[in-house]
Amino acid sequence: MRYKVYGVRIAFLGLFAAAMWAHHSPSAEFDMSKKITLTGTLTKVDWINPHIKVSMDVKGEGGKVENWGLESNPPAWFRRVGVSRNDLAKAIGQTVKVEGVRSKDGSFYGYLQKIILPDGTSLELVSPNAAQEYGK
């Protein structure tokens, strides 16, 4: 049953849905049409369940600093794809770029799909079949 539901989500919501997990449906909290790309200073990495969370300061319009929070997949997920807290936390205080979708409530909150670290390394949540698709 669980995987049938996943299948439906993947089919209808695209690749990002696959990365959203089913802790809650993406449509319950995030607006899938509100893609966000943010560049700012990474200030905090919370390695907590059920979602890791990163915080960053982003200069908005007029130069005012916006304090953004972005959650992502659970720590156990990142652990099993080879990402530790330190892989992100080592960039605290430095500039990072993230991509994701924004919370429906319009707050400075989103779901992180991709992060580009100061050394240029990018980590991106992709579909289970992405490797095969990439090779085609």
Partner 1 sequence: MRLQLLCLLTAAALVPMIGSGAPAKASASGVKRTADGHPDLSGVWQFAIDLPPGALKRESNGSVSFKSFDPSARRPAPAPVPGALPFTAAPSYKPEFQAKVKELEAHENKTDEVFYCGKPGVPRIGSPRKIVQLPNEIIFFYEDISGDPYRIIPTDGRPHRAGANPTYYGDSVGHWEGDTLVVDVTNFVDSSWFGEDGYFHSDAMHVIERLWRNGENLAYQVTVEDPKVLTAPWTEAPRVIKPSNDPLEESPKCVETDGNKLTNNDHHVQR
Q: Give whichever of 32 and 92 is closer to partner 1, judged by the CB atom.
A: 32
Query: Is residue 130 part of the contact set for partner 1 (CB under 8 A)?
Result: yes
- Hunting for tokens 């439906």 — which residue is that? 8
Q: Which of residues 66-125 bind partner 1 (CB under 8 A)?
A: 71, 73-83, 103-105, 109, 119-125
Query: Is residue 131 part of the contact set for partner 1 (CB under 8 A)?
Result: yes
CB 103 within 8 A of CB 33: no
Binding segment toward partner 1, per CB under 8 A, in 12-20, 36-44, 59-67, 89-97: 12-20
CA distances from 68 to 4, 18, 125, 133 (A): 34, 23, 19, 33
- Residue 81 phi, psi dihedral angles, 5° rounding: -105, 15
For residues 65 and 75, what is the distance between their CA atoms, to the nearest angstrom?
Answer: 28
The residue within the footprint of partner 1, chosen from 12, 33, 37, 49 (CB under 8 A), is: 49
Query: Is residue 48 part of the contact set for partner 1 (CB under 8 A)?
Result: yes
Name the residues that contact partner 1, by CB under 8 A.
Answer: 1-3, 5-6, 10, 18-25, 27-29, 46-51, 71, 73-83, 103-105, 109, 119-128, 130-131, 134
